[in-house]
């Protein structure tokens, strides 16, 4: 009701733009008593198919206004609930004023409601279009339907605007459509299934997140026809290229009001990850979930699986991938969602390292190492989530995640150093199973009292079987190898973890400005860790047991805790201090003999201060004391082989690591001025840490975990500033991180300093017609130093990205980066260039799409990289996939 008047205005103005040869028909719609009728629909349906339907809704004084093409025949149809419909032909030669009088209908209201569905209904903040009035029957997808509705515009990508306002969310039958991304629905929902299109104005769900509280946000709801409430859509992409490159990528969606299914398949040897991070977010519940739980995004993106989606460098990569996702509404209050991901892959990598080993801060040994690795891996990831919300006051969620993985890898390693040459082969066969279960219950007793209870149980079993073959004996003094070269060593590692926890948090509202949240919980973890290293000598084995190898470690940790958080608001400042008391007790045993049985109390303070200066300006301060126990492998105090040149021994004496963490973050933006600032400061000071004490000789090292209070501090600051001027955006950002720490190497404590500074300057364009480019310059400086040793690197990367939509149907994309590495200590420079390009053609409204894609245009064979730590300065060449050329064809179902 509210928007009617303005809507009319909007429609009118919209139509002014559209027609140049236009005449105005205006007047009033009245009832038989000459009283104006508000919200009456006035439709002008042209007899010529070339012309568009015109339409107006009367305002509160009964006025309507139509802009019609000159000398064209229109049929004017006026409908109003409870009145007889008027249908009258009109041809305009000049502007005309005409009043219409509607006769009351003698039909009952119910009959009217059934028979006379209005083509456009405006009520409060909702506009409803009945689509069958506007369509011609040739429409293929929802986008084609929307384009025919007055006031609705659809762009190429599938972004929808209604009266110039962007639709932020697409709902189908009142429910988020898969991801809530308008493009997926607009480009895929079959046109013949669409019954009504509802536009919900002032649908503010995401407005406040953008810092634009109170601003208008729109959602569009699609109502489906009876009998067409189920449909399938999807697309398939196939491609091939030089050197036997291929890919096939079908994706299929099934929609019904209660069941949503999404199946994605992918077979390729191009190295492209078929399953993207966005796909993963959809599987995890889509962006809706992230909106409701702001921590959700971080936890999804930090999960191990999401990390694996980040591309790493390889020479060859083949993927066979399948994923299945279902969301099922079991009842009005119960929702089930589940997914399974299955992936089989083969990855080949090759790296060349030049390692300079430092002992007492001097380069003692130089090693040239070449590593080639071929790994086959098969994993499955399944998740089930059951959500039950019987009332608004309580909800219950059960989540179970099952991960399995099986792999085998073969690695060939050549180590040439001033001391010795060794040729190593390594075969590994890791396998793992992990089951994670989680039950959360929220109950709101009253506004003042809400309780959340969480119970979880985890089971994990990891196995790894490794076979090494060496041409030279290794660790002569420590490993009693028998016989002649080649030497074969077999290692079996098995770790099992059973853990369970239970926690309760109570939200207690004391008054408008003070809340207190008591917490209470208990967690228990039981880990079994077994390692065995043996030499394989012909038909028998040579045990290293007597040399201090092999572990059968049991580690049990209990952690009861209680504490509270206090939340208060003082003006625009929210303070939230907290204090939790933990009481740890743990046991470590080796081969059944208890070695440690200890207990310890730990008080952990935390604080959060938020200052909401404005909705567009915020300052946050965070502090916490972090405590953490490492897993059983760190307590396993007997030796195991880590690599051909390193041995590791845990330490049963370890306790919890402890660190102070503080951060300050600030942001400010002004959309009005096109200005954005943000800055973050982080500081960590370790009180107690678990670090390696290293004994190094030549290229060989022996590491032992120690519980230490050696100083260790990290400080970092990041900031960025950007300004938008017309169609250009300029950004400057910088990053500094400083670390000071000490390590125990060859029984001497040495202090180290590692500093990193970087900045980026870039310009982006936002043209509508012209090609858009982003040009930037990144530079980073790394300095690593100890008392007597210094290493400096500079990395400089100018880059450019181009995106150009031309001739309506083509999209050209290209990117180029120039990479330069300078070792300032030695004045050595390495450069390489990376560039990729693609050209995509899709005639609008056609289901077919064609693409040519070239990766690694310059056919660069490796990337250069540098790293350093306390005893190795490392110059790495990572080999990458040679140039690929691919032709792709896609078809939309």
CB of 530 to another protein, least distance (A): 43
- What are the DSSP calls for 209-246, one per residue? GGT-TT---EEEEEEEPTT-S-EEEEEEEEEEETTTEE
Mention every residue, 6+ apart, whose C-beta is less than 8 A from residue 235: 250, 251, 890, 891, 892, 893
**Nearer Cβ to another protein, position 88 or 293?**
293
Determine what percent of the chain falls in helix, strand and coil, rounding each to the nearest 5: 10, 65, 25
Burial, 111: exposed, middle or buried (Cβ in 10 Å; 0-12, 13-18, 19+)? exposed
CB of 509 to another protein, least distance (A): 7
Q: How does strand 334-359 pair with strand 126-130?
A: unpaired
CB of 720 to another protein, least distance (A): 16
Distance in angstroms (rounded) separating the CA atoms of residues 689 and 744: 13
The answer to whether 417 and 367 have CB atoms below 8 angstroms apart is: yes
Nearest to 794 by CA among 832, 756, 760, 761: 756
Distance in angstroms (rounded) separating the CA atoms of residues 590 and 528: 10
**Nearer Cβ to another protein, position 567 or 877?**
567
CB of 365 to another protein, least distance (A): 54
Residue ranges that bind another protein, judged by CB under 8 A: 1-3, 5-7, 9-10, 13, 124-126, 163-166, 171, 173-176, 200, 202, 204-205, 207-208, 211-214, 216, 219, 221, 288, 291-292, 294, 329, 332-333, 389, 392, 442, 447, 450, 452, 507, 509, 512-515, 567-569, 571-572, 574, 614-617, 668-673, 768
Distance in angstroms (rounded) separating the CA atoms of residues 29 and 44: 14
Distance in angstroms (rounded) separating the CA atoms of residues 690 and 704: 10
**Nearer Cβ to another protein, position 221 or 819?**
221
**Nearer Cβ to another protein, position 303 or 389?**
389
Tokens representing 79 are: 């409908």
Beta bridge partners of 529: 495, 553
Distance in angstroms (rounded) separating the CA atoms of residues 461 and 494: 7
**Nearer Cβ to another protein, position 50 or 768?**
768
**Nearer Cβ to another protein, position 159 or 846?**
159
CB of 450 to another protein, least distance (A): 7
**Nearer Cβ to another protein, position 161 or 825?**
161
CB of 824 to another protein, least distance (A): 42
CB of 2 to another protein, least distance (A): 5
**Nearer Cβ to another protein, position 608 or 681?**
608
- What are the DSSP calls for 247-304, one per residue? EEEEEEEEE-SSEEEEEEEEEESS---SS-HHHHHHHTTHHHHHHH-TTHHHHHHHSH
The answer to whether 129 and 117 have CB atoms below 8 angstroms apart is: no
CB of 99 to another protein, least distance (A): 23
CB of 296 to another protein, least distance (A): 12
CB of 384 to another protein, least distance (A): 18
Number of residues that this document lists for the chain? 893
**Nearer Cβ to another protein, position 161 or 472?**
161
CB of 40 to another protein, least distance (A): 17
**Nearer Cβ to another protein, position 616 or 836?**
616
**Nearer Cβ to another protein, position 509 or 658?**
509
Task: Report the 10 Å Cβ neighbour count for 200.
Answer: 20
């Amino acid at each position: 009701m509210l928007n009617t008047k303005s809507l009319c205005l909007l429609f009118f103005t919209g139509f002014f733009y559209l027609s140049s040869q236009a005449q105005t028909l205006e007047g009033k719609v009245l009832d038989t008593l000459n009283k104006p009728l508000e919200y009456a629909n006035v439709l002008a349906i042209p007899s010529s198919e070339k012309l568009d339907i015109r339409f107006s809704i009367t305002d509160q004084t009964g006025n309507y206004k139509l802009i019609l093409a000159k000398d064209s025949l229109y049929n004017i149809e006026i409908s109003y609930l409870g009145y007889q419909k008027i249908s009258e032909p009109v041809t305009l030669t000049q502007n005309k004023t005409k009043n219409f009088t509607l006769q009351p209908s003698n039909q009952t209201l119910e009959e009217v409601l059934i028979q006379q569905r209005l083509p456009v209904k405006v009520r409060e903040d909702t506009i409803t279009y009945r689509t069958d009035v506007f369509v011609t029957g040739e429409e293929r997808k929802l986008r084609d339907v929307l384009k025919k509705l007055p006031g609705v515009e659809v762009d190429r990508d599938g972004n929808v605007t209604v009266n110039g306002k962007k639709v932020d969310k697409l709902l189908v039958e009142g429910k988020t459509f898969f991801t809530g991304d308008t493009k997926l629905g607009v480009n895929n929902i079959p046109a013949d299934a669409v019954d009504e299109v509802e536009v919900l104005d002032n649908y503010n769900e995401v407005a406040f997140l953008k810092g634009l509280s109170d601003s208008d946000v729109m959602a569009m709801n699609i109502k489906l026809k009876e009998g067409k409430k189920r449909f399938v859509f999807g697309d398939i992409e196939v491609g091939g290229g030089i050197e036997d490159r291929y890919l096939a990528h079908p994706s299929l969606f099934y929609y019904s009001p209660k069941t949503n299914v999404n199946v994605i398949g992918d077979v390729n040897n191009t190295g492209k990850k078929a399953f993207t991070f966005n796909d993963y977010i959809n599987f995890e519940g889509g962006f809706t979930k992230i909106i409701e739980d702001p921590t959700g995004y971080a936890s999804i993106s930090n999960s191990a699986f999401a990390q694996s989606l980040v591309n790493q460098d390889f020479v060859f990569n083949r993927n066979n991938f399948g994923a299945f996702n279902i969301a099922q509404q079991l009842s009005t209050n119960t929702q089930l969602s589940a997914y399974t991901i299955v992936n089989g892959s083969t990855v080949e990598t090759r790296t060349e390292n030049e390692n300079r080993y430092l002992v007492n801060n001097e380069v003692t040994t130089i090693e040239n190492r070449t590593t080639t690795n071929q790994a086959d891996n098969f994993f499955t990831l399944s998740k089930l989530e059951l959500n039950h919300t019987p009332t608004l006051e309580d909800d219950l969620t059960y989540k179970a995640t099952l991960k399995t993985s099986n792999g085998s890898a073969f690695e060939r390693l050549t180590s040439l150093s001033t001391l010795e040459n060794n040729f190593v082969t390594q075969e590994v066969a890791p396998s793992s199973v992990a089951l994670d279960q989680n039950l959360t219950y929220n109950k709101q007793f009253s506004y003042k009292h809400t309780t959340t209870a969480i119970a979880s149980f985890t089971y994990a079993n990891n196995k790894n079987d490794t076979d090494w073959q060496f041409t030279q004996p290794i660790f002569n003094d420590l490993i009693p190898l028998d016989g002649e070269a080649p030497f074969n060593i077999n290692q079996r590692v098995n770790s099992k973890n059973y853990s369970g926890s239970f926690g309760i948090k109570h939200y207690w509202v004391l008054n408008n400005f003070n809340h207190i949240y008591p917490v209470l919980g208990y967690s228990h973890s039981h880990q079994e860790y077994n390692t065995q290293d043996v030499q394989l000598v012909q038909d028998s084995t040579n045990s290293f047991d007597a040399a201090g190898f092999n572990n059968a470690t049991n580690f049990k940790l209990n952690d009861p805790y209680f504490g509270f958080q206090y939340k208060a608001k003082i003006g625009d400042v929210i303070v939230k201090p907290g204090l939790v008391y933990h009481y740890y007790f743990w046991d470590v045993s080796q081969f059944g003999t208890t070695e440690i049985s200890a207990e310890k109390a730990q008080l952990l303070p935390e604080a959060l201060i938020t200052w909401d200066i404005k909705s567009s300006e915020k300052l946050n301060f965070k502090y916490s004391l972090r405590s953490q126990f490492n897993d059983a492998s760190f307590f396993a105090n007997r030796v195991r082989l880590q690599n051909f040149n390193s041995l590791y021994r845990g330490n049963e004496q370890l306790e919890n690591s402890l660190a102070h963490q503080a951060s300050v973050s600030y942001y400010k933006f002004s959309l009005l001025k096109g200005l954005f600032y943000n800055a973050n400061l982080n500081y960590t000071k370790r009180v107690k840490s678990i670090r390696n004490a290293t004994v190094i000789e030549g290229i060989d090292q022996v590491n032992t975990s120690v519980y230490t209070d050696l100083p260790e501090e990290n400080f970092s600051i990041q900031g960025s500033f950007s300004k938008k001027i017309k169609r250009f955006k300029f950004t400057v950002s910088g990053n500094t991180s400083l670390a000071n720490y000490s390590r125990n190497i060859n029984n001497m404590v040495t202090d180290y300093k590692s500093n990193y500074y970087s900045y980026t300057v870039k310009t982006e364009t936002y043209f509508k017609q012209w090609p858009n480019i982003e040009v930037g310059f990144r530079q980073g400086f790394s300095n690593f130093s100890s008392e007597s040793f210094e290493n400096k690197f500079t990395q400089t990367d100018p880059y450019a990205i181009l995106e150009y939509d031309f001739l309506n149907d083509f999209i050209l994309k290209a990117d180029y980066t120039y990479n330069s590495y300078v070792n300032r200590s030695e004045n050595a420079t390495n450069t390489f260039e990376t560039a990729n390009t693609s050209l995509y053609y899709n005639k609008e409204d056609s289901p077919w799409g064609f693409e040519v894609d070239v990766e690694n245009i310059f056919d660069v064979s490796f990337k250069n990289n540098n790293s350093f730590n306390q005893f190795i300065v490392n110059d790495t060449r990572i080999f990458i996939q040679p140039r690929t050329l691919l032709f792709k064809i896609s078809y939309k179902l």
